[in-house]
Amino acid sequence: QVHLVESGGGWVQPGGSLRLSCAASGSIFSIDVMGWYRQAPGKERRRVAIIWSDDRTDYTPSVKGRFTISRDNAKKTVYLQMNSLKPEDTAVYYCFGSGAWGQGTQVTVSA
């Protein structure tokens, strides 16, 4: 089974940037598709961005133009570059791939 670990979360002011990382390890050596999801307090978990092994991507409209998902297949790592952050981006961000979830990393955007 695959094990996913997110990192890079933290607190930033509106307009700031963060880069999240999701490192995969374990018995799975290739993951065709991986995604970033987020869950704000009291709300359901929703997909933010997804990336396939051929680098095709898809974004939820609220982050398009501000967030960029990318992957390094050799490192088995997926990134989420988040720019122009807004308070409504505040959530726990989770990585998902190959049937596994990471533990989540907190992103807080406030003045």
Render pLDDT for 24-83 as a digit per residue (tens, 0 to 9): 998 766 678 999 999 999 999 999 999 998 899 999 999 999 999 999 988 889 999 999
The per-residue pLDDT for 29 is 60
Residue 23 has pLDDT above 70, yes or no: yes
With cut-offs at 50, 70 and 90, classify the pLDDT of residue 98: confident
> Concatenated DSSP letters for 2-70?
EEEEEE--EEE-TT--EEEEEEEEES----SEEEEEEE-TTS--EEEEEEETT--EEE-TTTBTTEEEE
Taking alpha carbons only, the member of 43, 42, 36 closest to residue 63 is 36
Q: Work out the average pLDDT over 88-99.
A: 95
